[in-house]
């Protein structure tokens, strides 16, 4: 018999303890705009999520879409600026953000999951008042900081066997307010509110690096704080690391920062001994 098939059967057999460990658990996956560039990466990601659901995990996809927002803003001639990793969002910009994230990007992911044989429903933080925000910082305009979470709708979807796909756009305390929320921040808030077992932050780097430039496979929150203070964790990794710390504080069991460009990154992390990226846990 072809050795590859024997290896495939062995891989499945070795996954049993992990399948047992994660059955019934809640896993929040942040899927960033940079990771969805090509069709194949999108289909691969969708297949991983459908497989998770098939083996009894309750996955929630929280997506970004920064590059897609940039594209449409560019076509409309609206200039975009970032401050500390977040988009300065005026009235015209927040309308484009909502259109792109809840329309184009959200439906693309829902469709990819449906194409792989799963069931997905797309929502934003506005649906059922899932995520209620206040302004994060006066310099950022309509950028939201989640202050109140209502995640019952997600639990209802789990019970129906449906994979929720959430766009990081939220409502405010007042009527008819719209906030643009950073995708990592939204994923962290949702994971915290659900007391998720895992928050997987898919990025386009291989994980968190130490001072010697090597990927650190496991860290405690204290170690992460030290790495931020000493400047070893810098740039775009800071908001991800801060999201991880906050999610752990709110009761998420573990956060993994991993490379979404690696094929089947989510499966590698959850269902193999090898794991992937950097795991942060107390
Ligand atoms: C982000 C929301 C999308 C996002 C933005 O406007 O780009 C803020 O910066 P990625 O692809 O995950 O970067 N919001 C406040 O987070 O997209």
Whether the CB-CB separation of 278 and 258 falls below 8 Å is answered with yes
Residue 227 has, within 13 A of its CA and on its CB side, a CA count of 25
ipTM: 0.98
- Whole-model pTM: value is 0.95
Ligand 1 geometric centre to CA of 57 (Å): 27
**Ligand 1 pocket, residue 267 CB under 6 Å:** no
**Ligand 1 pocket, residue 146 CB under 6 Å:** no
Confidence of residue 1 (pLDDT cuts 50, 70, 90): low
Q: pLDDT of 167-177, one tens digit each? A: 999 999 999 99
Q: Pick the residue whose CA is nearest to atom 14 on ligand 1.
A: 182
> Which residues neighbour 30 within 8 Å (Cβ) at sequence distance 6 or greater?
62, 63, 64, 183, 184, 187, 199, 200, 201, 202
Q: Pick the residue whose CA is nearest to atom 15 on ligand 1.
A: 182
Mutate to test the pocket of ligand 1, among 28, 29, 33 (most ligand atoms within 8 A of CB): 33
Q: pLDDT of 204-221, one tens digit each? A: 888 899 989 899 999 999
Ligand 1 geometric centre to CA of 182 (Å): 5
């Amino acid at each position: 018999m072809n050795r590859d098939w024997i290896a495939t059967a062995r891989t499945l057999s070795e996954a049993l303890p992990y399948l047992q460990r994660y059955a019934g658990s809640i896993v929040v996956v942040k899927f960033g705009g940079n990771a969805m560039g090509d069709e194949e990466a999108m289909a691969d990601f969708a297949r991983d999520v459908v497989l998770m659901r098939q083996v009894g995990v309750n996955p929630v996809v929280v997506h970004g879409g920064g590059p897609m927002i940039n594209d449409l803003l560019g076509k409309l001639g609206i200039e975009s600026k970032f401050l500390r990793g977040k988009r300065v969002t005026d009235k015209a910009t927040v309308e484009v953000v909502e259109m792109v994230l809840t329309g184009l990007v959200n439906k693309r992911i829902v469709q990819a999951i449906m194409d792989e044989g799963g069931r997905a429903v797309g929502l934003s933080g506005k649906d059922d008042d899932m995520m209620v925000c206040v302004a994060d910082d006066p310099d950022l305009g309509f950028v939201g900081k989640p202050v109140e979470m209502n995640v019952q709708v997600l639990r209802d979807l789990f019970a129906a066997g449906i994979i929720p796909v959430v766009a990081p756009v939220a409502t405010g305390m007042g009527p008819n307010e719209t906030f643009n929320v950073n995708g990592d921040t939204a994923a962290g808030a949702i994971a915290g509110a659900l007391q998720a077992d895992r928050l997987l932050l898919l990025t386009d780097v291989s994980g968190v690096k130490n001072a010697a430039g090597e990927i650190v496979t496991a860290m405690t929150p204290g170690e992460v704080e030290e790495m931020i203070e000493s400047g070893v964790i810098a740039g775009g990794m800071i908001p991800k690391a801060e999201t991880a710390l906050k999610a752990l504080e709110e009761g998420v069991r573990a956060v993994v920062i991993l490379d979404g460009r690696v094929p089947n990154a989510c499966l590698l992390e959850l269902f193999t001994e090898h794991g992937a990226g950097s795991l942060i846990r107390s």
